[in-house]
Amino acid sequence: MERKHSTLHIFFFPLMAHGHMIPMIDMAKLFATKDVKVTIITTPLNVPFISKAIEISKTHQSKEINIQTINFPTESGLPEGCEHVDSISSPELRSIFIKKTTKLLQKPFEELLLQQHPNCVVADVFFPWATNSTAKFGIPRLIFHGCSFFSLCANEVMRLHEPYNNTSSDSELFVLPDLPGEIKMTRLQVANFSKNGTEVDKFWEEVRESEATSYGVVVNSFYELEPAYADYYRNVLGRRAWHIGPLSLCNREKEQKAYRGKEASIDEHECLKWLDMKNVNSVVYVCFGSMASFPGSQLGEIAMGLEASKQQFIWVISKGKEDGEEWLPEGFEKRMEGKGLIIRGWAPQTLILEHEAIGAFVTHCGWNSTLEGVSVGVPMITWPLGAEQFYNEKLVTEVLKIGVPVGVKKWGDIEGGGIKWDAIEKAVKMVMIEENAEEMRNKAFELARMAKQALEDGASSHLSLNALIQELDSPLR
Ligand code: UDP
């Protein structure tokens, strides 16, 4: 029988960005199923994103999930109302948000710790100061990076060994030394690791220090997906880590899957009805996460590539591109009637992905999207843009072998990398219909089975979560 943990109270504090809030809300819900009292910390304008997701889940979960607000700091220079990365379109203001505003949250957060004294804090990697804050009150701090074990390891290996220094050109391949799997990358594919003492360098240095002195790391992954890297992270890099994913799978009801922190721009029933009319594995789902906003030229190439592939599709186009769609090839929407569904804005992604009609996922390789694809057994066409997405591409295409790259060469090109329609057509066909498609699909299917299994009683993620809760609850800690 499982122990009850009614005395534990844990704070969850995500960065105010969908890619961080969505998994952290899921994580809070997961802990709540273990009879832990959970409180999600955020700023006032972000409450609606969270409260609806929690309301929906309340009917299905036992223990309390609370939301506690702290005031959004106004002194960092952001215009009023910019409390979420989504509401900030300019790169300069986003940089202020990450570098300055997040720091100003420290004081009100500490006041809250003083008031409520939780037993543990799970705070986003973007709040490195949270390790010191919690230490003042003797509260353990766990870090949530929102990444795979693979990318956590690759990133650290890159920092420690600087293998990119041994190449003579940006496009020459180098091996990530010591990392299992002979992973090769080019300098173009990795973030700038130069130590120039810039503000960004200092920020990541703070992150590293805060990780070293924190209680440990919670990882949205499952052991069977990347055992060599989970082991490497713990045994070679010496980190204390708990794998508790895939977090998206804690949403078992349709309503929970349809709303995970943002209202969809399409009625989910309409979307599912459209998919119900399609054959198994016959539709490509195209979505680049919550941040990407491609220029018209890149969107036009995607439209042409999808049409040339002759595959049916659901294509999510982020809102900004709504007005003025002269980039769509002439007559495209008319020709695609019944074959292609365009969602302008936000899609109920997990609901779509799990539909049996979905046969492939064109993804920017954000870790949430990648793991959501893995969890439902959908092979991928990888289109990384920045962050740790090029590592995720390697994991999907070379380690797990459940996808093919569309061919983006350069890290940090948020405009999409200038991928041409024929490369898109080729990659889509490779995953949907060509020779190796079935092999990839079978592998993906098997991983999805393991993903679901991992959360079952007595399986890897279930045990890891229980072990963490027991440890936090132990008087000997
Ligand atoms: N998402 C969604 N609908 C969309 C776009 C994104 O539900 O139209 C969700 C997706 O399911 C995932 C998250 O937003 O949970 C995006 O996180 P990810 O790490 O993939 O990428 P990011 O947005 O952080 O770049």
Compute the distance from residue 162 Cα to the ligand 1 centre, in Å. Answer: 31
Per-residue model confidence (pLDDT) at position 1: 43
Q: How far apart are CA 41 and CA 336, in angstroms?
A: 44
First-to-last C-alpha distance (Å) of the chain: 23
Compute the distance from residue 290 Cα to the ligand 1 centre, in Å. Answer: 5
Contact 265, 287 (CB under 8 A): no
Question: Amino acid identity, residue 182?
Answer: E
Q: How far apart are CA 438 and CA 430, in angstroms?
A: 10
pTM: 0.96
Residues having CB within 6 Å of any atom of ligand 1: 18-19, 22, 287, 289-291, 316, 346-347, 349-350, 366-369, 372
CA 426 vs CA 280, 335, 382, 435: distances in Å: 21, 20, 13, 13
- Alpha-carbon torsion 385, 105, 50, 28, what sign? positive
Q: How far apart are CA 243 and CA 212, in angstroms?
A: 18
Per-residue model confidence (pLDDT) at position 257: 92
Q: Which atom number of ligand 1 is nearest to the Cα of residue 370?
A: 20
Q: Please, where are the H alpha helices in 213-262?
A: 227-231, 254-258
User: Active site includes 26?
Assistant: no
Compute the distance from residue 289 Cα to the ligand 1 centre, in Å. Answer: 4
The residue written with tokens 């098997």 in the block is: 446
Q: Which atom number of ligand 1 is nearest to the Cα of residue 23?
A: 15
Per-residue model confidence (pLDDT) at position 67: 96
Q: Which atom number of ligand 1 is nearest to the Cα of residue 146?
A: 19
Compute the distance from residue 78 Cα to the ligand 1 centre, in Å. Answer: 24
Buried b (16+ CB within 10 A) or exposed e, 345-369: bbbbbbbbbbbebbbbbbbbbbbbb
pLDDT tens digits along 358-416? 999 999 999 999 999 999 999 999 999 999 999 999 999 999 999 999 999 999 888 89
User: Active site includes 170?
Assistant: no
Per-residue model confidence (pLDDT) at position 372: 98
ipTM over 0.85: yes
Q: Whose CA is nearest to atom 2 of ligand 1?
A: 349
Domains and CATH numbers, the chain: 9-245+455-472 (3.40.50.2000), 255-451 (3.40.50.2000)
CA nearest to 267, candidates 334, 337, 346, 336? 346
Non-local (6+) Cβ contacts of 395 within 8 A are 148, 150, 151, 226, 370
pLDDT tens digits along 259-289? 988 999 999 999 999 999 999 999 999 999 9
Per-residue model confidence (pLDDT) at position 60: 58
Q: Whose CA is nearest to atom 15 of ligand 1?
A: 368
Site to probe by mutation for ligand 1, drawn from 265, 369, 370 as the one with most ligand atoms within 8 Å of Cβ, is 369
Q: Which residues of the chain have pLDDT under 50?
A: 1, 5
Q: Whose CA is nearest to atom 5 of ligand 1?
A: 289
Site to probe by mutation for ligand 1, drawn from 257, 368, 371 as the one with most ligand atoms within 8 Å of Cβ, is 368
Per-residue model confidence (pLDDT) at position 34: 92
Which among 26, 35, 124, 473 is annotated as catalytic? Answer: 124
